[in-house]
Amino acid sequence: MRKLGFILMAVCVIGFAAPAISAEFQFHGDLNHRFMLHTNHAEWFAGPGETTRNETVNGELRGGRLDDSDVDDQWAEVKYRLWFEAATDDGAVKGVVATEIGSLDFGRSARLDYSGDDIVFEFRWGYVDFQVPGIDHSSRLRIGLQPISVNPYLWQENVAGVNWFGSSGILDYQLAWFRGHDNGIDWDDDDDDAHEDVDAFLGRLNYKPDDNLDAGFFVLFQNNDGGDDMEGEDHTIYPRKYEVKFLNDVKFDLLTVGIDGSYKINNFFFNYDLMYQDGEMEGRFRDNRVDIVDDFDVQAWFGHLDAGINFGNHKLTYTFWYASGDDDPDDGDFDAFITTDTDVFDSIIFFEGGYTDDDYYTEKPYILDKGMIFNKLALDSKITDKLTVGAAVLYLMTAEDMEYTDNNGRDQDDDELGWEIDAYFKYMLYSNLEFSVNAGYLFSGDAMDYFEEDCDGSDDEDIFASTARIRYSF
């Protein structure tokens, strides 16, 4: 009774306080149920965190592995995201807290087997967003763990930091500091650099004179001075994990300058991104050609273009991008473009285009340190108010050759990843309940032989995957 009385008292206090606070509350959710209907190579969709896939084959560290026979599998999983927003009625102050459950496979030991889940909630967002006093009402400050969008091919995820943004007429502006990783303190090290962390500083200007034109310019500087001791495996950069979020123990300075935007004219539309990177890394790089390479300069490029047309209920889009790769890590200059933390969905086989999008080969718009030349032609059609279907043809290459020694001791090099065919349909069972199915098939090119357990200089394994989801959003 004492507990019940306390609960009733708390409810009454909140009930009486709410009108005085003059706050508005919202609760949202994304309840996503995903299914791998079938794949003939389940090992391909291991993701970068699966160290069992970074195996040594013939004495060479591979960035992934394809068995020399089919590995058929199916699975199901849940991924729930729930978030709560509280804001003053004038919108001057807003607080957001979000959690995530997943992705949890049905029946997976220590995840979602008998008697339920052994995994706790993930803290996804937690920030306060408020109007800056004394400045124009459009100027706001956001502090805490928050979504960040520097560029979808560079950094678009969640990170903790302080973010000042706003608008003045046709210009939007942003200045921000983000800390991706705290290296802690080494009390036994007198070097001041040993206490430095992984920080990022962002400046952006967007120009939007009307709904048909949007142009942006940004500068991102990232730095990690995490100590001078470069001994040990912790300071080694592997091609499979060539991404800033995996470089917490590698000293680096990295500057990325970019432009991006979109343009519409009648039924035609264009989206573009262009970035240049410059910097240096004092970690060590290891691949199958060079055992260990210490300290290198980074000079890299990325360019992307969407060109399309809307006609009737249909949309035709051609997508191209080029991510520079490195052809010789032994020369001290590293030409491979590097992302920080991204989610790319343009391919079911290579990226996160499958609805089981925590099971993928890579989340980055390139392969290992070899970059990518990406081509895609996609047609999307809205058949009815509830039904949308689409199909796409992709041709993928690495920007630099995959160089390796095959099982017969012969040197090989090739850049063709292959042709991919994708298709999907999406049907809205209710206004907020989606049912979707997609499928992708890769006709492998000879460069895929690099990933095969039985590598012999030519591709032997095509890859198929079909996924589905039932998703409730509110």
Contacts of 99 (CB under 8 A, 6+ apart): 81, 82, 83, 121, 122, 123, 124
Residue 461: φ, ψ to 5°: -125, 110
> Cβ(453)–Cβ(65) under 8 Å?
yes
DSSP three-state, residue 113: strand
Q: How many degrees, rounded to 5, is the angle at CA 202 between CA 198 and CA 208?
A: 155
> Cβ(277)–Cβ(299) under 8 Å?
yes
Q: How far apart are CA 250 and CA 422, in angstroms?
A: 38
> Cβ(54)–Cβ(48) under 8 Å?
no
Residue at token pair 């090992």:
43
Closest-CA residue to 283 (of 203, 369, 365, 161): 369
> Cβ(79)–Cβ(101) under 8 Å?
yes
Residue 61: φ, ψ to 5°: -75, 115
DSSP three-state, residue 336: coil
Q: How far apart are CA 121 and CA 76, in angstroms?
A: 19
- Retrieve residue 312's tokens: 């009737």
Distance of CA 39 to the CA centre of its chain: 22
First-to-last CA distance in the chain? 36
Q: Is 82 exposed, middle or buried (0-12, 13-18, 19+ CB in 10 A)?
A: middle
> Cβ(247)–Cβ(234) under 8 Å?
no
| CATH architecture designation of domain 36-67+146-473 | Beta Barrel (2.40)
Q: What are the counts of helices (DSSP H) followed by strands (DSSP E) for the chain?
A: 1, 24
> Cβ(432)–Cβ(458) under 8 Å?
no
Contacts of 236 (CB under 8 A, 6+ apart): 283, 284, 285, 286, 292
Q: How far apart are CA 47 and CA 363, in angstroms?
A: 8
Q: Structural domain boundaries of the chain?
A: 1-35+72-131, 36-67+146-473
Say whether the peptide bond before residue 103 is cis (omega within 30 degrees of 0).
Answer: yes
DSSP character for 459? Answer: -
DSSP character for 66? Answer: B
- pTM comes to 0.88
- In a structure prediction context, what are the per-residue pLDDT tens digits for the chain, which is 474 residues long? 444 343 333 434 344 344 445 789 999 999 999 999 999 999 898 765 443 334 444 444 444 578 888 889 999 999 999 999 999 998 999 999 999 987 888 887 666 777 666 666 789 999 999 999 988 778 999 999 999 999 999 999 999 999 999 999 899 999 999 999 987 766 555 555 555 789 999 999 999 999 999 999 999 999 998 655 545 455 778 888 899 999 988 889 999 999 999 999 999 999 999 999 999 998 778 776 555 677 889 999 999 999 999 999 999 999 999 999 998 877 778 899 999 999 999 999 999 999 999 989 999 999 999 999 999 999 999 999 999 999 999 999 999 999 888 888 888 899 999 999 999 999 999 999 999 999 999 999 999 999 888 888 888 899 999 999 999 999
User: Parallel, antiparallel, or unpaired: how do β-strands 122-131 and 116-117 relate?
Assistant: unpaired
* Rg of the chain taking only CA atoms, in angstroms: 24
